[in-house]
C-alpha cells in the first residue's frame, strides 16, 4: 500500500494552493513546480519546497514534460498532482510520470486517451449509444476539409480543441466567410495551450444549458456520480458562474443523465475525479465532453455534499480508498461559485495586470475563498487572469444568490480592476434569478461593457486616503486630492 509523504504540484495559482492545503491536512509535504514568473505568489510561499521548471512561457515551463518530471524527482516527491489545465489531461505526461517511478494523481494514461481526448471520447460514447451533438471528429485537419465539414453540419458551428478545455482553442463559426481564419486561430491556440493543434467541429446549440456531472472512480472499477452542476453562464465559452445542484433538472432527468455519466466513465475504466459534461436543450441532453481532471468548479459539489474531492484523489492514488455508495449523500442546500478575474468590466473585460496593493476576503458563515495571490503580489500578463474563486452555501438557491451578492460587495481588491461589478450585475438579472439562463445568456444581455458608476464624495475621500497611505506621506496630500484615481484604485 502506497503512502505519500511528499507530492509535487505541476500547476500554479489557486489550484496549487487548494492542493497544498489538502496535503497539509493529510500530513503530506509539497513540491511546487513553478515558472520564473510565479515566485511572488501564495502557492510559492506555502509549499514545503519549490523548484523552478522554466521561464514564464508555458511551453518552456508548465507544459514542459521533462522539466516537470525532473523537478518532481529532484524534489523527492512520490507523486504528481497536475491540478487543472496545463498537463492535467495530457496522457503522455501521465505516462512519463508513471515511467519515472512516480504516481500520477488522476486517471490512467489509457483512460485519458479514451476520454480526455474529445474525439476519442465521442467515438466511445457513440459505441455506448449516448446522444451526441452532430459534428465532425475526423483525423483530416486540413482547413479546407474542416470548412467543407462545417458546411455539411450547417452554421453556426463551433470549433474545439481535441485535447483542450476551459474555452481555450474554441471558436464559433457563423458563416464560411470567417471559417478559414477562425479555424486556423483555433488550431494555433490549441497547440499553444495543450500541445496539440487537433480540433473538431460541433453544431452549435443556441438555446442550450450546460449541465455536468461529477464522477469518481476507484481502483476496483466502481464509478459513482456526485450529482450535478450547472455552468450555463459562460463568456467566450468559458464558465464564470457555477452552481450545484442545477435548477434546471427534474428528478427523472437527473437520474438519466447521472446514469449516462457513469456509463461513459465506466467504459473508460475511469479512476479518480472527472466530469462528464452535457448540453441540455428542449428536454433532451447530449454528451459534450469528459474532463479527466479536477474541475475549477469542484468546490460547489463539495459544499452541497460535504466531501473533499482533492483528498479523495490522493487517497485513491495511494490505492487505499474503497469507494462506498453510503458515502454519497443527497445534496443539501445550494452552492454558487464566481470566478474573480483581473480585468476591467468597464472596458469590455480587457486584462488588468499589476501590483495587488491590498486584498481582503471577509470571512463568514457559508463563505469560502480560494485564491492564489495576497496583498503585494503581482498579476502578470503570462497566464489566465483568474485570481480567485468565491464560493457560498446556503439553505436554498434564492438565499445563496443574495449571499453571493453580499460577499462580492464585501470583497476588497485594490491595485487591479476585477470583474466583481460584472458578476453582481449577472447575479441580479431576472433570468439568472429565475434559473432560465442558457449558454447565450452573457451574449444576449451583457455583450457590452458595463457603464462605470459615478463615485460618491465619500468614496473619493476614502480612495484619496488610501492612495495617500500607499504613497507614504502627508507631502502627497495635494497631489492625491487633485487626482485620486491613480494606478492603485480599483472600483467595485
The position carrying cell 496583498 is 375
Measuring CA to CA, which residue among 251, 168, 257 is closest to residue 211?
A: 257
Q: How long, in residues, is the chain?
A: 492
471 is catalytic: no
Q: Is 264 exposed, middle or buried (0-12, 13-18, 19+ CB in 10 A)?
A: buried
DSSP string covering 119-165, please?
Answer: HHHHHHHHHHT--B-SEE--S---HHHHHHHHHHH-SSEEEEETT--
Rounded to 10 deg, the angle between the 13-25 and 309-318 helix axes is: 60
Cis peptide bond N-terminal to 156, omega within 30: yes
From 293, 339, 367, 490, the catalytic residue: 293
In 307-464, the DSSP E strands lie at 334-341, 343-344, 350-351, 354-355, 358-360, 367-371, 378-379, 386-394, 412-414
Q: Three-state DSSP class for 262?
A: helix
- Copy the grid coordinates of residue 276: 462528464
In sequence order, which residues have a C-beta less than 8 Å from that of residue 321 and are 6 or more positions away?
218, 219, 312, 315
Q: Three-state DSSP class for 107?
A: coil
Cα distances (angstroms) measured from residue 236 to each of 15, 53, 239, 249, 443: 22, 31, 8, 24, 9
Distance CA 71, CA 85 (A): 19
DSSP string covering 182-219, please?
Answer: HHHHHHHHHHHHHS---EEEEEPPTT-EEEEEEEEE-T
Measuring CA to CA, which residue among 116, 421, 454 is closest to residue 277?
A: 116
Task: With beta carbons less than 8 A apart as the criterion, state whether 225 and 260 touch.
Answer: no
Catalytic residues: 293
Amino acid at each position: 500500500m502506497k503512502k505519500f509523504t511528499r507530492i509535487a504540484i505541476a500547476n500554479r495559482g489557486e489550484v496549487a494552493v487548494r492542493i497544498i492545503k489538502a496535503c497539509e491536512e493529510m500530513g503530506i509535504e509539497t513540491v511546487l513546480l513553478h515558472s520564473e514568473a510565479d515566485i511572488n505568489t501564495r502557492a510559492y510561499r506555502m509549499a514545503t519546497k519549490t523548484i523552478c521548471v522554466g521561464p514564464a512561457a508555458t511551453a518552456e515551463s508548465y507544459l514542459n514534460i521533462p522539466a516537470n518530471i525532473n523537478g518532481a524527482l529532484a524534489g523527492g516527491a512520490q507523486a504528481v498532482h497536475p491540478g487543472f489545465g496545463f498537463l492535467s489531461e495530457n496522457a503522455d505526461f501521465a505516462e512519463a510520470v508513471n515511467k519515472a517511478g512516480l504516481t500520477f494523481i488522476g486517471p490512467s494514461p489509457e483512460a485519458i486517451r479514451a476520454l480526455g481526448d474529445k474525439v476519442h471520447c465521442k467515438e466511445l460514447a457513440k459505441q455506448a449509444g449516448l446522444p451526441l451533438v452532430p459534428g465532425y471528429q475526423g483525423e483530416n485537419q486540413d482547413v479546407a476539409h474542416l470548412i467543407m465539414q462545417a458546411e455539411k453540419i450547417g452554421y453556426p458551428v463551433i470549433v474545439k480543441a481535441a485535447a483542450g478545455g476551459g474555452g481555450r482553442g474554441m471558436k464559433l463559426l457563423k458563416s464560411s466567410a470567417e471559417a478559414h481564419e477562425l479555424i486556423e486561430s483555433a488550431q494555433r491556440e490549441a497547440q499553444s495551450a495543450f500541445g496539440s493543434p487537433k480540433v473538431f467541429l460541433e453544431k452549435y446549440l443556441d438555446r442550450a444549458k450546460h449541465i455536468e456531472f461529477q464522477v469518481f472512480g476507484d481502483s476496483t472499477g466502481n464509478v459513482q456520480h456526485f450529482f450535478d452542476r450547472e455552468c450555463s453562464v459562460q463568456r467566450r465559452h468559458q464558465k464564470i458562474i457555477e452552481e450545484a445542484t442545477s435548477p434546471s433538472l427534474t428528478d427523472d432527468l437527473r437520474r438519466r443523465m447521472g446514469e449516462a455519466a457513469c456509463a461513459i466513465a465506466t467504459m473508460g475504466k475511469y479512476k479518480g475525479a472527472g466530469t462528464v459534461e452535457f448540453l441540455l436543450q428542449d428536454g433532451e441532453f447530449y454528451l459534450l465532453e469528459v474532463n479527466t481532471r479536477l474541475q475549477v468548479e469542484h468546490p460547489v459539489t463539495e459544499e452541497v455534499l460535504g466531501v473533499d474531492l482533492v483528498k479523495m484523489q490522493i487517497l485513491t492514488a495511494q490505492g487505499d480508498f474503497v469507494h462506498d455508495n453510503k458515502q454519497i449523500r443527497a445534496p443539501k442546500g445550494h452552492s454558487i461559485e464566481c470566478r474573480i478575474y483581473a480585468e476591467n468590466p468597464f472596458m469590455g473585460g480587457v486584462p488588468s495586470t499589476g501590483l495587488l496593493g491590498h486584498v481582503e476576503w471577509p470571512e463568514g458563515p457559508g463563505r469560502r475563498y480560494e485564491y492564489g495571490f495576497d496583498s503585494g503580489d503581482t498579476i502578470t500578463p503570462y497566464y489566465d487572469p483568474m485570481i480567485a474563486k468565491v464560493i457560498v452555501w446556503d439553505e436554498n438557491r434564492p438565499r445563496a444568490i443574495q449571499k453571493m451578492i453580499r460577499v462580492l460587495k464585501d470583497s476588497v481588491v485594490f491595485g487591479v480592476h476585477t470583474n466583481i461589478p460584472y458578476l453582481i450585475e449577472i447575479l441580479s438579472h431576472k433570468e439568472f434569478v429565475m434559473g432560465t439562463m442558457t449558454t447565450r445568456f452573457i451574449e444576449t444581455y451583457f455583450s457590452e461593457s458595463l457603464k462605470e458608476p459615478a463615485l460618491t464624495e465619500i468614496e473619493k475621500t476614502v480612495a484619496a486616503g488610501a492612495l495617500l497611505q500607499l504613497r507614504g506621506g502627508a507631502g502627497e496630500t495635494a497631489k492625491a486630492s487633485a487626482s485620486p484615481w491613480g494606478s492603485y484604485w480599483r472600483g467595485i
